[in-house]
């Protein structure tokens, strides 16, 4: 990895690059790669000792976004397992109802989703930027924005001695807490209502045990999402297979977690103890415990994506998609970072790095999945995190299926409508409410 | 108020599922955190203004922090430990008293190092 040499103390001239990218996560590395490929000098500043060291994700990286960036990426990407089974599970304390989909198509190139370890994946993508000519500067915090005489962003201040980096454009990919976007006035200092806390345990298990328990081959993996198992706190559980470990965790509404007084690890413990989940994890030894915030507010909570001399991408731009059955983030980070890097390169070429000069970034994102998906599912967070979807429907659904499949001889089988009416009534949900929510869901997802 | 790494954390009780079935063995929080690498810096990156905390009615940081870094004190303040921080930001986001918690990133190269994130 290229390292920045800090000028001797007393040197007043800052290092100058065409662009500075802050954060060597997937967004930042994609941005730096785009800038380097365009022939621009670019510094990629990472506060951790290596890219990925501060990062946590919750299940699947969808790789097709890499097609135009790294041809045949699947032959070299540090994958744990290719996801061939996707299971969405609705649970109560003692019941579970799963929709389990499997296809071997996802186990062949170009694949669909992969599980990975961010310490490896993020490093791999950062190395691509370095190979293209970007200067990776690790163990360095960008502590603030540097401004020119006219108040435009003109680089960053770092926590290295004399570590000011001058640049015509800064791409802030500094994550969910983005202090740079906050300093620029693009993000509020706090907005817990738009955030969830992800907590995760990685449990070591022998690869052969994982293959057997999940019914997959050595390179194949499973991703499971769980609704209803988070102790009444809005959010969801997740479980996915790595090569020699299983990751299990929960994503929790921050205000509801705070109000509940429940400790986050207690939610994971309860999830792990569920009768459907416990046998999958039995004997797993804790390898690592981690936590990270997730910006789940969606389209309506996104900051402006550009200011004079500044672009924002990835989690810093709240680009995590949490739309019920679609939970994606790394692909949105890569696509937005790549687009930001390209837009910055165009602005540099035209000599106009003002917000107007950088406006092609947003237009690019609107023309592809990044903003199209977010716009389409903008109302999803409200519905998905509602009390009915989180708590009452899981219980009602499980009861409904239990009624259908319980053979209560000598009682004759009840009709489907009768079971629905009875179950809804028992859970205090009027049928017109059910119909209204179904219509709402159809409008959001249809 | 200064950081206090000696804030005592109780052993968590064994976990029993709601239906009374599977039981996980008790795991102390120390054991849980021992699985995580921290390159502890000398500068505390969290500061807490205990005077503000004393008027806080929720003290949400105490239960919500996934690293269990905050503990209430007898006089209504908050004791904290910055050393085993995940750097998630939960504490300042849920903080009820404006300005009670100031939170920055640890110095470059320091803090949590995830290998399986």
Q: Is the pLDDT of residue A380 over 60?
A: yes
What is the per-residue pLDDT for A12? Answer: 57
Q: pLDDT: is A3 or B35 the higher one? A: B35
Distance from CA of B38 to the nearest CA of A (A): 11
Give the torsion through C-alpha atoms of A59, A64, A67, A69, to 10 deg. Answer: -40
Residue-wise pLDDT tens digits, B3-21:
444 444 444 445 554 444 4
Eight-state DSSP code of residue A106: G
- The pLDDT of residue A324: 82
Residues 41-70 of B with CB under 8 A from A: 58, 60, 63-64, 66-68
| Mutant choice from B34, B93, B96, B97 vs A, greatest count of A C-beta within 10 A | B93
d(CA A301, CA B25): 41
A262-266, A297-301, A315-319, A378-382: range with lowest mean pLDDT: A378-382
What pLDDT sits at residue A120? 98
Domain boundaries, chain B: 37-113
- pLDDT at residue B12, as a whole number: 47
Nearest CA in chain A to B36: A288
Give all strands (DSSP E) within A242-325, no chain letters.
245-253, 285-295, 306-307, 310-312, 321-323
Q: Which of A53, A411, A205 is nearest to B117 (CA)?
A: A53
Burial B16-44 (b: 16+ CB within 10 A, else e): ebeeeebebeeeebeebbeebebeebeeb
Using an 8 Å CB-CB cutoff, list chain B residues near A140.
108-109
Q: Which of A55, A119, A197 has its CB closest to that of B90?
A: A197
pLDDT digits (tens), chain B, 117 positions? 444 444 444 444 455 544 444 445 567 899 999 999 999 999 999 999 999 999 999 999 999 999 999 999 999 999 999 999 999 999 999 998 778 999 999 999 999 999 999
Helix A369-376 to helix A330-350 angle, to the nearest 10 degrees? 130
Q: Which chain B residues touch A53 with a CB distance below 8 Å?
A: 112-115, 117
Please give the residue of chain A at the shortest CA–CA distance from B33.
Answer: A289
Task: Give A315's contacts in chain B (Cβ within 8 Å).
Answer: none
Mean pLDDT is lowest, of A9-23, A195-209, A304-318, for A9-23
Mean pLDDT calculated for residue range A290-308: 97
Q: What is the pLDDT of residue B24?
A: 55
pLDDT above 90 for A191: yes
Q: How far apart are CA B104 and CA A144, in angstroms?
A: 11
The ipTM, to two decimals, is: 0.94
Of A395, A256, A375, A429, nearest in space to B63 by CA: A256
A21: buried, middle or exposed (CB in 10 Å: 19+, 13-18, 0-12)? Answer: buried
In which band, very low, low, confident or very high, does the pLDDT at A216 lie, cut at 50, 70 and 90?
very high
pLDDT of residue A4: 52
Q: State mean pLDDT over A211-230.
A: 97
The CATH code of the domain at B37-113 is: 3.30.70.20
Q: Is A179 helix (H, G, I), strand (E, B) or coil?
A: helix
Mean pLDDT, chain A, integer: 95
Just give the CATH number of A15-78+117-187+303-366: 3.50.50.60
Dist. CA A373–CA A337, nearest whole Å: 16
Instruction: State mean pLDDT over A403-421.
Output: 93
pLDDT in tens, A246-274: 999 999 999 999 999 999 999 999 999 99
- Please tell me the predicted confidence (pLDDT) of residue B5: 41
Q: Please tell me the distance from the alpha carbon of residue B104 to that of residue A393, in angstroms, as a whole number.
A: 40
Is the pLDDT at A294 greater than 50, yes or no? yes
Beta strand pairing call for A165-172 and A15-22? parallel
Long-range contacts of A400-409 (CB under 8 A, 24+ apart): A401/A97, A402/A95
* Chain A residues touching B11 at Cβ < 8 A: none
Of B88, B104, B108, the CB nearest to A197: B88
Report whether pLDDT(A412) > 80. Answer: yes
**pLDDT tier at A7, thresholds 50, 70, 90:** very low
pLDDT at A9 exceeding the cut of 80 = no
Q: For chain A, which residues make up each domain, given as ranges?
A: 15-78+117-187+303-366, 193-295, 382-445
Six token digits for residue A173: 């990919």
CB-nearest partner of B108 from A57, A141, A265: A141
| In chain A, % of residues over pLDDT 90 | 92
Mean pLDDT for the stretch of residues A231-238: 95
The fold of A193-295 is D-Amino Acid Oxidase; Chain A, domain 2 (3.30.9)
A310-312 vs A165-172, strand pairing mode: parallel
Q: What is the pLDDT of residue B25?
A: 59
* pLDDT higher than threshold 50 for residue A205: yes
Contact A272 B24 (CB under 8 A): yes
Per-residue pLDDT tens for A146-185?
Answer: 999 999 999 999 999 878 999 999 999 999 999 999 999 9
pLDDT of residue B98: 76
């Amino acid at each position: 990895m290229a390292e920045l040499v800090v000028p001797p103390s007393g040197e007043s001239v800052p290092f100058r690059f065409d662009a500075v990218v802050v954060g060597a996560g997937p967004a930042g590395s994609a941005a730096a790669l785009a800038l380097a490929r365009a022939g621009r000098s670019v510094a990629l500043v990472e506060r951790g000792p290596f890219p990925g060291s501060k990062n946590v994700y919750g299940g699947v990286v969808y790789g097709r976004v890499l097609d135009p960036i790294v041809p045949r990426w699947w032959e070299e990407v540090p994958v744990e397992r290719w996801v061939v089974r996707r299971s969405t599970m609705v649970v109560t304390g003692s019941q579970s109802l799963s929709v389990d989909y499997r296809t071997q198509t996802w186990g062949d190139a170009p694949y669909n989703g992969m599980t990975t370890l961010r310490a490896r994946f993020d490093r791999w993508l950062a190395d691509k930027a370095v190979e293209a000519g970007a200067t990776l500067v690790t163990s360095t915090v960008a502590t603030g924005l540097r401004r020119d005489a006219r108040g435009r962003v003109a680089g960053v201040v770092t926590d290295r001695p004399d570590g000011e980096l001058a640049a015509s454009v800064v791409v802030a990919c500094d994550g969910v807490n983005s202090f740079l976007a906050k300093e620029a006035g693009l993000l509020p200092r706090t907005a817990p209502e738009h955030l969830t806390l992800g907590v995760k345990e990685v449990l070591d298990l022998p690869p052969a045990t994982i293959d057997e328990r999940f019914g997959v081959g050595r390179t194949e993996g499973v991703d499971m999402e769980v609704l209803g198992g988070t102790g009444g706190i809005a959010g969801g559980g997740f479980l996915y297979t790595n090569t020699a470990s299983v990751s299990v965790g929960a994503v929790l509404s921050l205000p509801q977690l705070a109000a509940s007084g429940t400790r986050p690890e207690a939610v994971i413990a309860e999830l792990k103890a569920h009768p459907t989940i416990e046998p999958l994890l039995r004997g797993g030894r804790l390898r690592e415990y981690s936590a990270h915030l997730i910006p789940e507010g969606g389209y309506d909570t996104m900051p402006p994506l550009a200011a004079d001399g500044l672009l924002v991408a990835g989690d810093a731009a709240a680009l995590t998609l949490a739309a019920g059955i679609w939970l994606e983030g790394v692909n949105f980070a890569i696509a937005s970072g790549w687009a930001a890097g390209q837009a910055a390169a165009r602005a540099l070429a035209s000599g106009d790095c003002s917000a107007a000069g950088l406006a092609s970034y947003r237009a690019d994102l609107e023309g592809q999945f990044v903003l199209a998906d977010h716009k389409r599912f903008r109302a999803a967070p409200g519905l998905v995190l509602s009390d009915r979807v989180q708590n009452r429907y899981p219980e009602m659904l499980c009861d409904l299926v239990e009624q259908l499949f319980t053979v209560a001889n000598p009682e004759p089988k009840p009709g489907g409508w009768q079971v629905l009416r009875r179950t809804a009534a028992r859970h205090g949900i009027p049928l017109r409410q059910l119909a209204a929510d179904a219509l709402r869901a159809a409008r959001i997802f249809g | 108020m200064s950081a206090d790494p000696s804030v005592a954390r109780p052993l968590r009780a064994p976990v029993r599922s709601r239906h009374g079935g599977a039981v996980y063995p008790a795991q102390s929080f120390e054991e849980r955190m021992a699985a995580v690498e921290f390159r502890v810096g000398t500068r505390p990156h969290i500061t807490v203004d205990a005077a503000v905390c004393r008027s806080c009615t929720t003290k949400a940081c105490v239960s919500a922090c996934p690293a269990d870094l905050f503990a209430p004190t007898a006089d209504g303040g908050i004791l904290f430990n910055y050393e085993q921080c995940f750097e998630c930001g939960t504490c300042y986001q849920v903080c009820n008293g404006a300005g009670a918690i100031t939170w920055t990133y640890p110095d470059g190269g320091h803090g949590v190092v995830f290998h399986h994130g």
